Structure 1
Amino acid sequence: MFNFYIIILFVLLIITFLLSMFFSASENSFIQLNKFKIKNLIYKNKKIGREIYKILSNMDLFLSTILVGNNFAIFGFTSISLLLLLKFGIPKAQATTYNLIFSTLLILLFAEIAPKNIGRERSHYFSYKFYPLLKFFQRLFLPITYPVSLLIKLIYSLFNITKENRLDEISKKEIYTLTKSSGMKGLFPNFDTKMIERIFNFRNKRIYDAIIPLNETQPISSKKTINNVKKIFSENDIEYLPVYKNNITNIIGYTKPTDLLNIKNKELPIREIMRDLIYIPEFINLLDILDYFEEEFVLGVIDEYGIVSGLITLNDVIDEILGEEENIISKKVKADNNINIVDEIIVSGKTPLEQLKIEFGIDIKDKDVNTLAGFLMKTFKKIPSRGTTYKYGNYQFKILKSSPTKIKRIKIKNIS
């Protein structure tokens, strides 16, 4: 009888220890579940997805079950281990001390730390295997956990705490992390993960992040005739022309090519048909100006002194989201003695000289400028037109695209 009693206690000791391990592992494994995978299981009409969703839909009940079950298991384990020590004839004082040390170390290492780490690392495997057992304990402990859940809800209401279901909404951080990791793994090789980041940060973007400075536009005098303006549009690939009065900083309106259609009097001053310009301060957010573009194509941006500092269009706002053109647009490589040499590259005018030196070995020594466009403008002492070429060392620079105010695209060819 004595031996049978000892065996029963040992069996109960193992059971309570395993239950403590189970509840500790369950806590971490269910909380660490990937919500995308659970949602996917639900979309595939899998029972396991629906059941796990039900468990996590009521986090109060889930956590209450874990805490109640773990406390019962730990209490049972320490009580049974103390009984066993006493049965082996160890004095009560010493048995209590031994039990405290033994139980604490054993539970801490093998029923808390180890299961929690395993549950975190193998969260889906553990949850899929043992969710029925957790559901059983949820029902078993319901008489205890239900009042606890009601108490928690009362605390929420007293402190005005909003409870969220962690599976219902996917945060922007999770979407960004998913797309970034997918891009790194090559799942979406042509997907620009930086665009996601720009979209999420769009609310914090200011107008000056997308503004076109006034010196990069091509303002025309309000006295220009319709015929003159038509000629400017035909010679330049531009969507609009800002109109100024008396001086270039006094922008009073703008015009588009479509405004000039069906105008019979070609000598009419452009101020007679130009569109009025709406002015907005440069320190407001990009998000706040979107409504303006329902009626206007161009907005004038003014600084704190009321001076027009630049212009902005809806395309500029979209470019801020999608990203501007990369500095290195394309390149061609040729083989020379089994060595790949860059034969031809097409770059943006804003490409830093330092980047050309580091990536392609094109060493342009000029301390006064930082970009390729700046170097070419300094060389020509003007903004060169399309097709203009310039030789520097072993390279030929050809202007592929430019405007009256900037060099936009250049082809660099190795002529060595």
Structure 2
Amino acid sequence: MDFSSLDTSFWLTCAAIVALLVMSAFFSGSETALTAASRGKLRAQADKGSTGATSALKVTDDNERMIGALLLGNNVVNITSAALATAALTRLFGDSGVAIATFVMTLLVLIFGEVLPKTYAISNAEAVSTRVAPLILIVIRVFSPIVTVVRAAVRGILRLFGVKTDPDGHMLALREEIVGAIALGHSGGAVEKEHRDRLMGALDLTDRTVDEIMRHRSQIEMIDADASPDAILTQCLASRHTRLPVYRESPENILGVVHAKDLLREVDSLLRGPEADPAALADLDILKVAMKPYFIPDTTTLDEQMREFLKRRTHFALVVDEYGALEGLITLEDILEEIVGDIADEFDIAPTTVLKRAADGDYLVEGSMTIRDLNRTMDWSLPDDEANTVAGLVIHEAQMIPNEGQAFSFHGFRFQVAGRQDNRITKLKVRPL
């Protein structure tokens, strides 16, 4: 060991190494904080006037350029510090100084240049991001020419191997990130099942179509335009619906939609108007008070249809297929129920969505119950890609219309047909395997 080497030059070199380690910690911590920070939280801070959060959002808009600049700066200071340490320790210890410098700098860089700053940064991602972002913007501008060349070279090499980079790809994964965060919050107990279902229901509106939640045409209550006024009034008063489609000759021939309040106004004008005559009720024309029917294709998304309902100031639409044949109907309430759950009023039948488990472990499920409702009620994950109802799922998987008593096992569940009417499965026994 040559103590004569401990001159001013040696101590200046040591000071430079310490400064480079601080810069290494800055680059490492900044990279971790900016990549781990929630853009949602940064946006909320920016909206409140935080200039640091605004800078952080600007930096993370181009992750590829940001990471390139930070890695370039980090590698430059790490390599420089290692070179200076090797030169200084070689003067002090001779040839063995190379090995000593390698060990010492590896330990220092690992602890003070990597682990320590990254641990702190990931624990305080948003706070660190807002502090370092203005400086990182300067670093990006300084290294921009070199980063541009490096990025072009990297993309060229990746292209040779058939890998295509999409700098805007993170925007496409935003919805999946939100869904994953909600699911993670629910599994951790931070988000209740009811809240999770509402949030997931709102997110799913853009991916689901009206034919998945519509009321099937076999369940639609309709008014025959050729029926007597007395029969029409009796039917409207007995119905639990305020809007009823009006048809003539065939249920496929929908002529309009009558609202109970409009019908009441017409009856009131006939019986209590200036020319009131009880016999005038026989001349009641249901089509006179019926609104023009509103038809929509079955491929319309729920999000788009909700906007159309609000725009048209109507709550009722008839769903048709690609051939124009009536498939069912959908209301604004049906769409809202996908978010908030069942909306019941004094005229609705008591909901039966709560399924009770029998002694043998089976749940008795209505065949017309949608798979989505069953999944939400029981917290299951049955697929609903090929069928909307539980009965439809069984028919799809069985590739046949099963008879009563037949049982099948798929997707981790056992399904047994408990009731069948004509070609329709009415009840099923479902049991998780």
TM-score by length of 2: 0.59
CA contact (8 A) 1:352 1:370 kept: no
Partner secondary structure for residue 71 of structure 2: helix
CA distance 1:369–1:169, shift in 2 (3 Å): closer
**What amino acid is aligned across from residue 312 of structure 1 in structure 2?**
I
**What amino acid is aligned across from residue 195 of structure 1 in structure 2?**
R
**What amino acid is aligned across from residue 34 of structure 1 in structure 2?**
S
Instruction: Indicate the residue corresponding to 1:370 in structure 2.
Output: 365
CA distance 1:283–1:48, shift in 2 (3 Å): closer
CA contact (8 A) 2:246 2:254 kept: yes
Equivalent of 1:71, from 51, 56, 75?
75
Equivalent of 1:323, from 341, 346, 349?
341
Q: Deviations for 1:190-217, whole angstroms, at most 9, x for unmatched residues?
A: 9844333222221211122221123433
Aligned length: 342
Q: 1:40-119, aligned counterparts within 5 Å?
A: 40-46=44-50, 48-49=52-53, 52=56, 62-63=66-67, 65-91=69-95, 96=98, 99=101, 103-104=105-106, 107-108=109-110, 111-119=113-121
Q: Deviations for 1:221-248, whole angstroms, at most 9, x for unmatched residues?
A: 2221233222322333321223344455
Q: Deviations for 1:339-390, whole angstroms, at most 9, x for unmatched residues?
A: xxxxxxx9944335425x6xxxxx7x9999536x99xxxxxxxxxxxxxxxx
Q: 1:382-393, aligned counterparts within 5 Å?
A: none
CA contact (8 A) 1:60 1:149 kept: no
**In 2, Cα distance between the equivalents of 1:254 and 1:53?**
51
Q: 1:5-404, aligned counterparts within 5 Å?
A: 5-46=9-50, 48-49=52-53, 52=56, 62-63=66-67, 65-91=69-95, 96=98, 99=101, 103-104=105-106, 107-108=109-110, 111-127=113-129, 138=138, 143=142, 145-148=143-146, 171-172=174-175, 192-246=195-249, 251-260=254-263, 261-262=265-266, 264=270, 265-268=280-283, 272-273=287-288, 274-289=290-305, 293=309, 294=312, 298-303=316-321, 307-325=325-343, 348-354=350-356, 370=365
Unaligned ranges ≥5, structure 2:
271-279, 370-433
CA contact (8 A) 2:245 2:257 kept: yes
**In 2, Cα distance between the equivalents of 1:367 and 1:24?**
56
Quick check: which one's helix share is greater?
2
CA contact (8 A) 1:278 1:300 kept: yes
**In 1, Cα distance between the equivalents of 2:134 and 2:178?**
30
Once superposed, what is the RMSD of the aligned Cα atoms? Answer: 5.1
**In 2, Cα distance between the equivalents of 1:366 and 1:107?**
60
User: Aligned-pair distance for 1:48?
Assistant: 4.6
Partner secondary structure for residue 205 of structure 1: coil
CA distance 1:295–1:83, shift in 2 (3 Å): closer
Partner secondary structure for residue 350 of structure 1: coil
Q: Deviations for 1:291-314, whole angstroms, at most 9, x for unmatched residues?
A: 764286543334567653322233
CA contact (8 A) 1:223 1:269 kept: no
Partner secondary structure for residue 301 of structure 1: strand
**In 1, Cα distance between the equivalents of 2:254 and 2:314?**
16
CA distance 1:128–1:249, shift in 2 (3 Å): closer
CA distance 1:130–1:200, shift in 2 (3 Å): closer
Partner secondary structure for residue 118 of structure 1: helix
CA distance 1:280–1:35, shift in 2 (3 Å): closer
Partner secondary structure for residue 317 of structure 2: strand
CA distance 1:270–1:97, shift in 2 (3 Å): farther
CA contact (8 A) 2:5 2:91 kept: no
**What amino acid is aligned across from residue 281 of structure 2 in structure 1?**
K
**What amino acid is aligned across from residue 74 of structure 2 in structure 1?**
N
Instruction: Indicate the residue corresponding to 1:338 in structure 2.
Output: none
CA contact (8 A) 1:29 1:122 kept: yes
Greater shift, 242-251 or 255-264, is seen at 242-251
CA distance 1:29–1:366, shift in 2 (3 Å): closer
**What amino acid is aligned across from residue 215 of structure 2 in structure 1?**
I
Unaligned ranges ≥5, structure 1:
330-345, 358-362, 375-416
TM-score by length of 1: 0.61
User: Aligned-pair distance for 1:11?
Assistant: 3.1
CA distance 1:71–1:204, shift in 2 (3 Å): same
**In 2, Cα distance between the equivalents of 1:318 and 1:241?**
20
CA distance 1:74–1:175, shift in 2 (3 Å): same
**In 2, Cα distance between the equivalents of 1:237 and 1:172?**
38
CA distance 1:155–1:295, shift in 2 (3 Å): farther
**What amino acid is aligned across from residue 121 of structure 1 in structure 2?**
S
CA distance 1:177–1:75, shift in 2 (3 Å): same
**In 2, Cα distance between the equivalents of 1:234 and 1:254?**
16
**In 2, Cα distance between the equivalents of 1:283 and 1:169?**
22
CA contact (8 A) 1:64 1:148 kept: no
Instruction: Indicate the residue corresponding to 1:396 in structure 2.
Output: none
**In 2, Cα distance between the equivalents of 1:292 and 1:44?**
34
